[in-house]
Amino acid sequence: MKIIKRIEHDTLGEVAVGADKYWGAQTQRAVENFTIGSRKMPFEIIEGLAYTKKAAAYANCSLNVLSEEKRNLIAAVCDEIIAGQLTEHFPLAIWQTGSGTQTNMNVNEVISIRGEVLRSGSSDPKSRLLSPNDDVNKSQSTNDVFPTAIRIASTKLVFTKLIPAIENFLKTLDKKVAEFKDIVKIGRTHLMDATPLTLGNEFSAYKAQIDNGLRVVKAALPHLMQLPLGGTAVGTGLNTPKGYDHTAVMFVNQFTGYNFTNCPNKFEAMASHDAMVEMSGALKQLAVSLMKMANDIRLLASGPRCGIGEITIPANEPGSSIMPGKVNPTQCEALSQVCCQVIGNDVAITTGAMQGHLQLNVFMPLIGFNLINSIHLLSDILNTFNAHCLSGIKPNRENIKYYLDHSLMLATALNTHIGYENAAKIVQTAHKNGSTLKEAAVTSGLVTAEEFDEWVNPQKMV
């Protein structure tokens, strides 16, 4: 089958492009020059660029530097992009120039060519009303619009996906804290027996950690929502009409429904990406908390006969291809792997963000991809772990009571009555002889049976 081509051109000359493609010469060069990996630029960034281009067109028109006809054409194509109707026309890999120029031009070219198809039905370069550089990219540089797109994309994901997932997770933890509030169990420090607490106390720590994670995510949003739009090449706003930056951000808010602000120092927002580092740090904190929780749950659920077994978790799948009847903590393992990946993403973001040189950081595709990836992963795992593990956790009261009754650390309650050293001798004797704590205490002559029952009461120790 013969592939029909059309000839596009840029400042380097002519390039053949598939006739059914809405991209132009610069995109085609990038397709051929950046054959790196299989991952494409995330759609969320493309969508963020579409919001940015639409807002820029409206700002330029309102400031009398772009016609209404061109504005409307640009906006119409941007709406198609946002609706996910043109995704096959954004073929570029993540791994390209560090400013994201190729993807910015990909969006500019698609808007230009698709705009002409909407206007006249033709993709002929000679008839195009919209220039990708002079019209679609008017008052813009990749250096300000690409970080703007990442901020729009990640902000939208945090609001629509991550925060709801965290809040639903917290609701389940609330229920578990209430459900387990009166179940007294033995505590463990250094993985060794410690004084009692309730299972509700134990789960309240997880809830507090996730509460704190939600707080830091929300606290990172105001910085992330400062847009450098209007800074153009280095932050000065060269080639923009007066008032463009504030007007463009106003239109971004109108089209997205969020309250982005104009970055107070565009030089900072383009030469560095500390706002993304801050949000990634919040995601890392959440991942650290979730990893701790996952480790605890799989330890507490270990068994069923030769582990701790103080809780049971849902049996979602057979756990072994060779050991019949085995059930594994698969959701804990999936959660742990996601946490490792998010922490790894944070390392990549941190490394990329500290590579800013002079007026521009050129690690933006790396930073944007990893930030978006982390938000997606955390949101998804919070939802799946909540549905398939956390909500189905039940206490194993028999095991909890057994460990509580046989713990030697209940002797801690004797400290204030007979002193630490005497209590330690009782513990050592009980452990050596295999007797109960009460038997060793009474045998020592330091405590009567009645005193022991009064002083060593786990219900009063929590």
Cα–Cα distance for residue pair 36/23, rounded to 1 Å: 19
Query: Which of 265, 240, 288 has its CA nearest to residue 60?
Result: 240
Mean pLDDT of 369-395: 98
Two tokens at 17? Answer: 């492009």
- CATH number of the domain bearing residue 422: 1.10.40.30
- Give the span between the Cα atoms of 154 and 304, in whole angstroms: 42
Question: Residue 456's pLDDT is what?
Answer: 93
Q: Residue 99, exposed/middle/buried by CB under 10 A (0-12, 13-18, 19+)? A: buried
By C-alpha distance, which of 338, 368, 211, 215 is closest to 277?
368
Same domain, 448 and 308: no
Query: Tokens 């804990």, residue?
Result: 332
Q: Which long-range contacts (CB under 8 A, 24 or more apart) does 196-204 make?
A: 196/404, 196/407, 196/410, 196/458, 196/461, 196/462, 197/462, 198/462, 199/310, 199/311, 199/395, 199/400, 200/176, 201/462, 202/296, 203/173, 203/176, 203/177, 204/177
2, pLDDT greater than 80: no
Domain-embedded: residue 172? yes
pLDDT reported for residue 151: 98
Q: Is the per-residue pLDDT at 306 higher than 70?
A: yes
The DSSP output letter for 98 is T
Instruction: Give the C-alpha separation, 187 to 180, whole Å.
Output: 14
* Residues 130 and 152 grouped into a single domain: no
Q: Is the domain of 308 the same as that of 358? A: yes
pLDDT at 160: 98
Last residue of a domain, one of 343, 375, 395: 395
> Residue 144's closest CA among 235, 60, 65?
235
Largest Cα span, the chain: 104
Give the end of a domain, one of 338, 367, 395: 395
DSSP letters for 305-350: SSS--SEE----S---SSSTT----HHHHHHHHHHHHHHHHHHHHH
- β partners of residue 394: 312
Task: Give dist(CA 456, CA 324) in Å, integer.
Answer: 43
- Does residue 310 surpass a pLDDT of 90? yes
Verify that 158 and 284 share a domain, yes or no: yes
CATH number at residue 289: 1.20.200.10
Which pairing describes strands 226-227 and 311-312: parallel, antiparallel, or unpaired? unpaired
Looking at residues 159-172, what average pLDDT do you find?
A: 98
Confidence of residue 234 (pLDDT cuts 50, 70, 90): very high
Looking at every residue in the chain, the average pLDDT score rounds to 96
pLDDT-derived band at 439, boundaries 50, 70, 90: very high
Q: How many domains does the chain have?
A: 3
pLDDT recorded at residue 445: 94
Catalytically annotated residues: 190, 320
Whether 16 is covered by a domain: the verdict is yes
213 φ/ψ angles, rounded to the nearest 5 degrees: -60, -45
- One domain, residues 307 and 422: no
Instruction: Evaluate whether residue 190 is within a structural domain.
Output: no
Please check the confidence at residue 360 and state whether its pLDDT lies above 90. yes
Tell me which of 357, 374, 395 is where a domain ends: 395
Residues 377 and 420 in one domain: no
- How many whole angstroms separate alpha carbon 348 and alpha carbon 15? 35
CA distance 74 to 53: 7
> 362 lies in a domain?
yes
- pLDDT (0 to 100) of residue 320: 87
244: its two tokens: 């463009």
- Relative to beta strand 226-227, strand 261-262 is parallel
Q: Cα–Cα distance between 335 and 341 in angstroms, integer?
A: 10
Q: Are residues 151 and 235 in the same domain?
A: yes
193 domain-assigned: no
327-336 residue pLDDT tens: 899 999 999 9
pLDDT higher than threshold 70 for residue 11: yes
CA angle at 131 for the pair 128 and 134, rounded to the nearest 5°? 155
3-state secondary structure of 195: strand
Cα 132 to chain centroid, rounded: 33
Q: What is the pLDDT of residue 319?
A: 85
- For residue range 114-126, list pLDDT tens digits in order: 999 999 999 999 8
- As a whole number of Å, the CA-based R_g of the chain is 30
Secondary element (H or E) of residue 197: strand 192-198
- For 186-198, the pLDDT digits (tens) are 999 999 999 999 9
DSSP 3-state assignment of 294?
helix
What CATH number does the domain containing 11 carry? 1.10.275.10
Provide the pLDDT confidence category of residue 1 given band limits of 50, 70 and 90. Answer: low
DSSP H or E segment with residue 448: none
CA–CA distance, 342 with 69 (Å, rounded to integer): 45
Q: Are residues 297 and 418 in the same domain?
A: no
Residue 82 has pLDDT above 90, yes or no: yes
Same structural domain for residues 150 and 240?
yes
- Exposed (0-12), middle (13-18) or buried (19+): which is 13, by Cβ within 10 Å? exposed
377 and 414 in a single domain? The answer is: no
Asked whether residue 186 is assigned to any structural domain, the reply reads no
How many residues are given for the chain? 462
Beta-carbon-side half-sphere exposure of residue 228 (alpha carbons within 13 Å): 32
**Where in the sequence is the domain holding 93, given as residue range(s)?**
5-138
**Residue 222 lies inside a defined structural domain of this protein:** yes
**Residue 12 confidence (pLDDT):** 95
Residue 41 banded pLDDT, cuts 50, 70, 90: very high
On whether residue 341 sits in a domain, the answer given is: yes
Q: What is the mean pLDDT of residues 410-428?
A: 94
- 32 with 159, same domain? no
Which amino acid, 266?
Answer: K
Whole-Å CA distances, 120 to 62, 117, 125, 127, 347: 25, 5, 12, 9, 49
- Residues 246, 351 share a domain: yes
